[in-house]
Amino acid sequence: MCLIAFTLDQNRHYPLVVAANRDEFFNRPTAAMDWWTDASSALVSKPVLAGRDLQAGGTWLAISASGVVSAVTNVREGSPEAGVISRGDLPLRTLQQSAQSLRKHLADNASRYSGFNLVTLDAGQERASGPSGWYFSNRDAHPGRSLHRGSYGVSNHLLQTPWPKLLRLRQHVTSTVVAAGEDSEPLHQALINHLKDSTPAPDCLLPRTGVNLATERVLSPTFIIGKHYGTRVTTVVTVAASGEIRVTEQTWQPEGKPGECRQLCWQQ
């Protein structure tokens, strides 16, 4: 997962909205989102909805039955070292473990992962405090911070790092969420359309992340179109004040051609 924008308490109908793209090589084996049970992974004891990385066994974004969302992105580094533990286990751990157990695991094992950003988001309908989130990166000087009401974005650097595609998507997501009515289907379609934005950033605004300029240009749009590498999955999650949880996953083939679209909706 390489780009995530999300809002907390920006619309009275939707305390939590998540819009995300996963960018990956097309030859990396992947399964579309489905419910995982304890037979799916040693990390899963409570059902979660997630896609599956069939190579490393984890996922990039997972949703619990109660609508808690956890997602991970990698940190782009010029010469990354392979982690001892796959980053794909982090969203699963987050939704299975207590906050105390997760934070202990991260404190003890952060250096065993390649660079990552982990976000966990809760609409807070079972708490009087409302929607909230938590962010952790093993590349942050002060890892572990609480998130409250607002609009956020994370790509392949730290939370809210102002890369052009992050700023562009965050602005579109925020304005779309603020204007949304009670019907979640048009909101999902509008967000998917924003996530399909293939506008490249101008060279003067490109980040310098240790890869060459040509690669920075290719990676600069919200939606990356390529033959061998590109956006493979677009995911939208809304948790409504009514208790409705809706998840849309649109998969993509090389050159940006649409693949399977799955949509699940249930009541909390």
On whether the CB atoms of residues 149 and 11 are closer than 8 A, the answer is no
Q: How far apart are CA 151 and CA 162, in angstroms?
A: 13
Is 40 a residue whose pLDDT tops 80? no
On whether the CB atoms of residues 71 and 5 are closer than 8 A, the answer is no
Q: What is the CATH code of the structural domain delimited by 3-267? A: 3.60.60.10
Q: Nearest Cα to 32, choosing from 15, 50, 57? A: 50
CA dihedral 38, 41, 46, 48 (to 10 degrees): -120
- Residue that is written with structure tokens 């390529």 in the block: 226
Residue range 185-201: mean pLDDT, rounded: 98
Q: Phi first, then psi: what are they for 204, rounded to 5°?
A: -65, -15
Three state DSSP letters for 149-166: CEEEEECCCCCCCCCHHH
**What's the pLDDT tens digit per position in 92-103?**
999 999 999 999
Is 54 a residue whose pLDDT tops 70? yes
pTM across the whole model: 0.95
